[in-house]
Structure 1
Amino acid sequence: MPNPSPDLEISGPAVDDDIRRLIQRYGVDKVQEAIKQQTARRRGPIPIADWPELTSILREDARLWLEGGDPFTARSNRSIALVFAEKHPGHSFASTRDRLMRKLRERRRYYTLVEAERLSEEKYPYTENLRAIRALLETGTLHDSWDRLLRLREGSLADYKAKFGEPPASMTMQELVAEAGKPITPAPASNVLQTLTGSSPKR
């Protein structure tokens, strides 16, 4: 029976040291079996990362959405998949096309809105950023994360209004958050006294 090792949590200094500690605790057979399982090649097709290749399309869709258009009717999933498959046919044009159509059907709207949120934070009015986050909430994906972000942004908007009034319509969310975090500069004491007494400061 293997002896428990109280210093198993100690790491290194070499791989051999860690393996020796594991053998002392679990025995040779258990360690060999675990290594075999952990290093075994996983069955099934290797996932293909298509989304990075679609970044430019998602960005175009996001801009159109932010400007009031509907990118999902302006350009169909099929048309995007056909263009992609022509450029990156892989082993089969048809299988690449079908794979892209499936991914676009499942995730295009979400990733377009993610891109819209990123773009609108720095380059569009703050109202568009709030609209993008609310649309992301409606997708149901990562709902809690987007909900937290919405509450943070709405909190910044409330802080800004309390300090400076209604923000300019053209102000971006990035600008609004930065301004909302600034302290209010107190009026000089003489001005405060003048306001309270209605008299001019003495010279």
Structure 2
Amino acid sequence: MLEVTDLACLKGDRLLFRGLALRLAPGAMLRVAGPNGVGKTSLLRLLTGLTEPEAGTVSWCGVPLRRERENFHRALFYLGHAAALNDMLSALENLRFACAAAGDEEVDEAACVRALERIGLGAQLDLPARVLSQGQRRRVGLARLFLASARPLWVLDEPFTALDVHAVADLAGTLGAHCAAGGMVVLTTHQEAPFAQPPDVLDVGRYAC
């Protein structure tokens, strides 16, 4: 379970929000909503332990992240808004490297190929990342979702960006299946997606300063 109590976020000299609380249980999906600039991405970074809150606590399975960081990161899959690719490596090499860096050593090349084909990059497997479009670069990162079922908590910043309608539907199904299997998803999105079960919504604007 992911739990947040009385969270406050400071960005530069501006307090974005305070008093934010949430509880995410196994099987739940949460959409983080609110106007641009309110702190949605900042909240995701707090939830993943990438930044520290100005006040409040983020806990995993009842233990604050500062005391549970190693176990928490083994349970977490985080996809930020920007693609983090090595331009000299191919799409396949980037995906294999990302899996290895995350400790997913059991993921083999065949599984990576299947994931890239599923996300619509079957024809770009061996192309260097530098020649991929922004949408294709985004898809390389998204392909990791199909390989991350063992990680219960998925935190995703705008995962549907640059996907066509078929890829959106497939990804929505993947997120729903993860939750149905007892996983948890936190995401931001400006797009409508055909979820079988609509996610709960947290409006960060309610806590804005």
Q: State whether TM-score is above 0.5.
A: no
TM-score, normalised to structure 1, is: 0.28
TM-score, normalised to structure 2, is: 0.27
Structure with the larger RCO, 1 or 2 (CA within 8 Å, 6+ apart): 2
Q: Which has the larger radius of gyration?
A: 1
Q: Decide which structure has greater helix share.
A: 1
